[in-house]
Amino acid sequence: MSSPAAFLNVQASLTGRRWVGPDAGADRLAEAMAQATRLPLPLCRILVSRGVPPDQAAGFLAPTLKDLLPDPRSLRDMEKAAARLVRALTSGERIAIFADYDVDGGASAALLLAWLRALGRDATLYIPDRIDEGYGPNVPAMQALARDHGLILCVDCGTLSHEPVAAAAPADVVILDHHLATETLPAAHAVVNPNRQDEDGSLAHLCAASVVFLALVEANRQLRGQGTAGPDLMALLDLVALATVADVAPLIGVNRAFVRQGLRVMARRERPGLRALADIARMDSAPTAYALGFLLGPRVNAGGRIGQADLGARLLAATDDAQALALARRLDELNTERRVLTEAVREEALAQAEARGLDGPLVWAAAEGWHPGVVGIVAARLKEATNRPAIVIGFDGGIGKGSGRSVAGVDLGAAVQRVAAEGLLVKGGGHKMAAGLTVDRDRLDAAMARLSELLARQGAGAAGPQDLRIDGLLMPEAANLALAEQIESAGPFGASAPAPRFALPSVSVAARRMGESHLRLTIGGRSGGGPEAVLFGAFDSPLGPALEQGGHRLFHLAGKLEVNTWGGRSRVQFRLDDAAEA
């Protein structure tokens, strides 16, 4: 079967990519929706691509928790887990929280700490060291916690921790997690996980913080039944939003409402830790999903990656402004160090992956001494560059610890878990978009070959790495602030809901530099001017030099329409992804 015609006839853009646009059927549906709803055609193209019918457009553009929040009790063990938490609360038992060291784990822990604090209780926070202890509960830590606590809450971890959970006796263990489970669960008091084998999968897109939030909804319900008012949970949604975006959870269903409402809560700047971190990151406008994923999330993660594992959780749970500022500054410093480490590993990993070949179903790289705290970030970079699942592994002697990132439609966690079950990995697991693994050096090649085979069966590598998806054509003069704000109503954008990319056809550009590496472009169309465009990292590809020296040539531009708020004033901006000579 022949490939569809290239969009705007762009077979090879300035970066060598072929542009692929919507098919004729999608165009017809978008036009019909525009007539039925009176919404702008570009917005209707987005709704059609999300599978939204015309009669559900209004609800999709204004998602609410009232309409989308699932019944917590629809998850197995939820009533039992919440009842155990309430019993520990009311009876005065000591409670420990064992959390993962990433944003999702830190936010999950902070949710519980804030809820307990509002009810006059404290809890012990334990986060394992990434290098010394690795991911998830371990026997010595669980035994130590069990000596002094009646209840241990494992958040964003624990689903595969059979031996450590058993070692926690006589303390009760409640697991609130979202990572893929095997058929056999640990012998915990309760295991709440939408990715249990016996769940129906309807809530598989939740991150751990969302599972914890639902547990608190159920705990509040049980407290009301006892005549006690629970804390205000809506004020905690900033933490849920941060975790959802940072953990690359699909922005579908209730996750959209969590992030939309959480951003509104965050904009009030009431949480000391997030307020301090936003100031350190120089965020001077209302928070966005982009800010959560690229400004705040990496800084919260930095402690767990290369510093002290509990810094992020302590920041998110902080109530004192001075403490929050000190923690935010330290995390910012660590994030700067992390970026330097990441770039060094990225260059080596990319060179190795290129030598191995980038056209297979899996892109991978491994080497001695790569810091385990940055291999996941580098895997994400490789995935973005190749449009394929990627795994990066750092070895310390004979044992390698690695992280992987996947592309839409390919379940990396399930594949990694199967290879571990087959004995080619020491251990491994995760979820659809991200996974972690440990591998013996002498089984590395066999493990990666088997993983490649499993991913190929899911269709990994079928999409050309040079294809660039375009959602539709947009005339430059129509790309105004009003349209950008309407497009934002279809968000938040992120995993499984990418920001729409439009093409501006046959425009002139006048470029000027912003610092050494970015460009700002003035766009001129046939019947008027267009939005100002920005090209970040312009000179990391052929785009920057070509556009800077554009002269009188005309270009097709591909990018995303955004609202840029600066100094309290909003204006439209076109974030450039690619260009081709017209």
* 78, 518, 573 from 550: Cα distances, Å: 60, 16, 20
Q: Is 373 exposed, middle or buried (0-12, 13-18, 19+ CB in 10 A)?
A: buried
Say whether pLDDT at 1 is over 60: no
C-beta of residue 388 within 8 angstroms of C-beta of residue 461: yes
Backbone angles phi, psi at 467, to 5 degrees: -75, 135
DSSP label at residue 493:
-
pLDDT for 2 beyond 80 = no
**Cβ 19 vs Cβ 13: under 8 Å:** yes
Residue type at position 402 = G
- Residue 134: pLDDT band by 50, 70, 90 thresholds? confident
Which region among 157-166, 249-258, 463-472, 540-549 has the lowest average model confidence (pLDDT)?
Answer: 463-472
- pLDDT the model gives residue 307: 80
| Chain Cα centroid distance, residue 548 | 33
pLDDT for the residue numbered 3:
63
Question: CA-to-CA distance for 111 and 472, rounded, in angstroms?
Answer: 41
* pLDDT tens for each residue of 458-483: 999 876 656 899 999 999 999 999 99
340: pLDDT strictly greater than 50: yes
Number of other CB atoms surrounding residue 310 within 10 Å: 22
Average confidence (pLDDT) over 185-207: 97
Question: What would the mean pLDDT of 550-570 be, rounded to a whole number?
Answer: 87
DSSP lists the bridge partners of residue 580 as: 556
Cα–Cα dist 26/7, whole Å: 14
End-to-end CA distance of the chain: 28
Alpha-carbon distances, residue 455 vs 69, 333, 358, 415 (angstroms): 33, 37, 14, 7
CA distance 510 to 524: 8
Of 264, 238, 224, the C-alpha closest to 317 is 238
Task: List the structure tokens of 16.
Answer: 């060598």
pLDDT of residue 157: 97
Q: CA separation (Å) from 78 to 258, 365, 368?
A: 19, 40, 43
Check if CATH label 3.10.310.30 holds for domain 357-457. Answer: yes
- Give CA–CA dist 251/412, Å, rounded: 18
- CATH assignment, 68-332: 3.90.1640.30
In the chain, CATH 3.10.310.30 covers 357-457
Q: How far apart are CA 347 and CA 562, in angstroms?
A: 31
Q: Each residue of 279-312: pLDDT tens digit?
A: 999 988 889 999 999 999 999 999 988 888 999 9
What band does 516 get if pLDDT is binned at 50, 70 and 90? Answer: confident
Structure tokens at 154: 């494992």
Q: Above pLDDT 70, what percent of the chain? A: 98
Give counts: helices (H), strands (E), the chain: 21, 19
Q: Where do you find CATH 2.40.50.460 in the chain?
A: 7-21+470-581
Q: What is the mean pLDDT of residues 496-516?
A: 91
Q: Residue 138: what pLDDT?
A: 97
The confidence band for 565, taking pLDDT boundaries of 50, 70 and 90, is confident
Residues whose CB falls within 8 Å of the CB of residue 55, separated by 6 or more in sequence, listed in order: none
How would you label 391-404 residue by residue, b for 16+ Cβ within 10 Å and e otherwise? Answer: bbbbbeeeebbbbb
Side-chain half-sphere CA neighbours of 468 within 13 A: 28
Q: For position 286, what pLDDT does the model report?
A: 86
- Per-residue model confidence (pLDDT) at position 189: 98
pLDDT confidence bin for 570, thresholds 50/70/90: confident
In 10 A of CB 513, how many CB atoms? 13
Percent helix, strand and coil across the chain, each to the nearest 5: 45, 20, 35
Residues of the chain with pLDDT > 90, as a percent, come to 84
Structure token digits, residue 559 = 């990018």
Q: Residue for token digits 């909804």?
A: 217
Q: Looking at 186-200, 291-305, 417-431, 514-528, which range is the least confident one?
A: 514-528
* The amino acid at 496: S
Average pLDDT of the chain? 94
Q: What are the residue ranges of CATH 3.90.1640.30 in the chain?
A: 68-332
- 280 vs 326: CA distance, rounded Å: 10
Q: What is the mean pLDDT of residues 198-221?
A: 97
Has residue 399 got a pLDDT over 50?
yes
In this structure, the strands spanning 151-155 and 95-99 are parallel
Q: Is the dihedral of CA 276, 282, 287, 288 positive or negative?
A: negative
Residue of 404, 466, 389 whose CA lies nearest to 439: 404
Q: In angstroms, rounded to a whole number, what is the distance separating the alpha carbons of residues 108 and 243?
A: 8
Q: Read off the amino acid at residue 520.
A: R
Residue 396: partners with Cβ closer than 8 Å, 6 or more residues away: 368, 369
Over residues 13-37, mean pLDDT? 93
Are 269 and 275 in contact by the 8 Å Cβ rule? The answer is yes
Which CATH code for domain 7-21+470-581? 2.40.50.460
The single-letter code of the amino acid at 345 is V
In the prediction, which pLDDT does 467 show?
Answer: 82
Q: Which amino acid is at 522?
A: T
- What mean pLDDT is predicted for residues 428-437? 91
- Provide mean pLDDT across the span 430-444: 93
Question: CA separation (Å) from 371 to 336, 393, 394, 395?
Answer: 15, 9, 6, 9
Q: Are 292 and 242 in contact (CB under 8 A)?
A: yes
Q: Are 508 and 554 in contact (CB under 8 A)?
A: yes
Show contacts of 231-236: CB within 8 Å, 24+ apart.
Answer: 231/114, 231/115, 231/118, 231/119, 232/118, 233/115, 234/65, 234/261, 234/265, 235/265, 235/270, 236/111, 236/114, 236/115, 236/265
